[in-house]
Amino acid sequence: MTGAVQHRAAAAAGPEGRWAHTYAALDLGTNNCRLLVARPTRDGFRVIDAFSRIVRLGEGVSTTGRLSPAAMDRTLDALGVCARKMRRRGVTRVRAIATEACRRAENRVEFFARVYDETGIALTAIATEEEAGLALAGCAPLFEPPARYAVLFDIGGGSTQVLWVRVDHDAPRATSEVLASVSLPCGVVTLSETFGGDRIAPEVYAAMVGHVAEHLAPFEDAQRIAHAIDAGDVQMVGTSGTVTTLAGVLLDLPRYERARVDGVRLGFAEVDTVIQRLAVLDYASRAAHPCIGRERADLVVAGCAILDAICRAWPVGRLRVGDRGLREGILHALMADADAEAVAASGAA
């Protein structure tokens, strides 16, 4: 059979591999419930629907070890919206993951069962190593030459993932390799519950930064990232509500716009200026900012403290902001799996 005939036969049989599906990636974190629905394109994928809601699933988990009834109810409402969106869009491949809050919670099995019964969504709590890998897959396109190494971090609600990455810009398509990673037990929710989230006194803010720095120090001691920074061979990429919020504040946006924030470059001096502005405000003043709002107002200073500690530990001088991460990594993996299945099926035919 000629190549042209094979092509016509494949077309008649319908699309194959990634092209045969509509995909969904759902990331249920300690603070947020996020969904992306996408279809493949030649260069990756096109998002056709999205959803994000602050649910605070991990509220109180650091002290009780359990998901509270109120937090589960809020989250189920959001997951119901996600389920309806996926049905309406005809999703055929989906992966739904849960991170730190569910890793810690003693009652996560019961919660997952309730989620499945009420929404049809099958949640899986992933390990910190997989979380780091998905963050890398989602953010790798933001790495820029010539720096051969990168610090990638994701400030979450219950934890913060930090990756030390080697980047190969000489490959046909730039590739990246995780040299080491660490999951810090410091997130915006857990830190706020410990230190407070309204008006933060300077000494309390300093204590927050110091607390995070203590957790960063062993990773620096083991990896000696500062030496590569001294050689000018390191870049930094941050993905989280904290860094995207700070970028929106710095850009003085009248409302948050992903297109203007994703990929923006911030100098450390600019970052420090915004952090100092936000750290001295009270809850009401932070809530009034259109890029923060009521739902983040009591968490943003904790995020600032985590970011501050990271920037002090590794003074790269510039940060690239990513409004992307786990969901994008999931979508890439789902599409690659569909391609692999199509190749295996064609080989077995």
pLDDT value for 85? 98
290: left (phi over 0), alpha (psi -120 to 50) or beta: alpha
Instruction: Flag whether pLDDT at 78 surpasses 60.
Output: yes
Q: What is the pLDDT of residues 287-341, one digit of tens each?
A: 999 999 888 899 999 999 999 999 999 999 999 999 988 999 999 999 999 999 9
Q: Is the residue at 195 inside a domain?
A: yes
Domain identity same for 241 and 205: yes
Domain identity same for 33 and 170: no
Per the structure block, which two tokens stand in for 146?
A: 């010539």
Q: Is the residue at 76 inside a domain?
A: yes
Domain-ending residue, one of 71, 98, 126? 126
Q: Is the residue at 173 inside a domain?
A: yes
Domain identity same for 113 and 146: no
CA-atom Rg of the chain in angstroms: 21
What is the rounded CA–CA span in Å between residue 108 and residue 112?
A: 6
Domain identity same for 151 and 294: yes
Domain identity same for 263 and 155: yes
Domain identity same for 157 and 267: yes
What is the rounded CA–CA span in Å between residue 279 and residue 258?
A: 24
Domain identity same for 34 and 87: yes
DSSP-assigned letter for residue 166: E
Q: What is the pLDDT of residues 112-129, one digit of tens each?
A: 999 999 999 999 999 988
Q: What is the pLDDT of residues 247-301, one digit of tens each?
A: 999 999 998 888 899 999 999 999 999 999 998 888 899 999 999 988 889 999 9
Cα 35 to Cα 14, 169, 186, 294: the distances in Å are: 27, 31, 24, 21
Domain identity same for 217 and 316: yes
Gap between the terminal Cα atoms of the chain = 15
Residue type, 64: T
Instruction: Flag whether pLDDT at 13 surpasses 90.
Output: no
Q: What is the pLDDT of residues 25-40, one digit of tens each?
A: 999 999 999 999 999 9
The CATH number of the domain holding residue 82 is: 3.30.420.40
Domain identity same for 221 and 274: yes
Q: Which residues of 288-321 are buried (b: 16+ CB within 10 A; e: fewer)?
A: ebebbbeebbbbbbbbbbbbbbbbebbebeebbb
Domain that holds residue 196: 140-327
Per the structure block, which two tokens stand in for 330?
A: 């999931």
Can you give the pTM of this predicted structure? 0.84
User: Among 348, 329, 336, which residue's Cα sits nearest to residue 134?
Assistant: 329
Mean pLDDT of 143-161: 93
What is the rounded CA–CA span in Å between residue 298 and residue 292?
A: 10
The CATH number of the domain holding residue 292 is: 3.30.420.150
Q: Is the residue at 282 inside a domain?
A: yes
pLDDT value for 7? 34
What is the rounded CA–CA span in Å between residue 95 and residue 40?
A: 16
Residues of the chain with pLDDT > 70: what percent?
95
Domain identity same for 170 and 144: yes
Instruction: Flag whether pLDDT at 9 surpasses 90.
Output: no
Domain-ending residue, one of 126, 150, 170? 126
Q: Is the residue at 82 inside a domain?
A: yes
Contact (Cβ atoms closer than 8 angstroms) between residue 38 and residue 138:
no
Share of the chain residues as helix, strand and coil, in percent rounded to the nearest 5:
50, 20, 30
| Bridge pairing between strands 123-125 and 149-155 | unpaired
Q: Is the residue at 335 inside a domain?
A: no
Domain identity same for 323 and 241: yes
Domain identity same for 112 and 152: no
Number of independent structural domains in the chain: 2
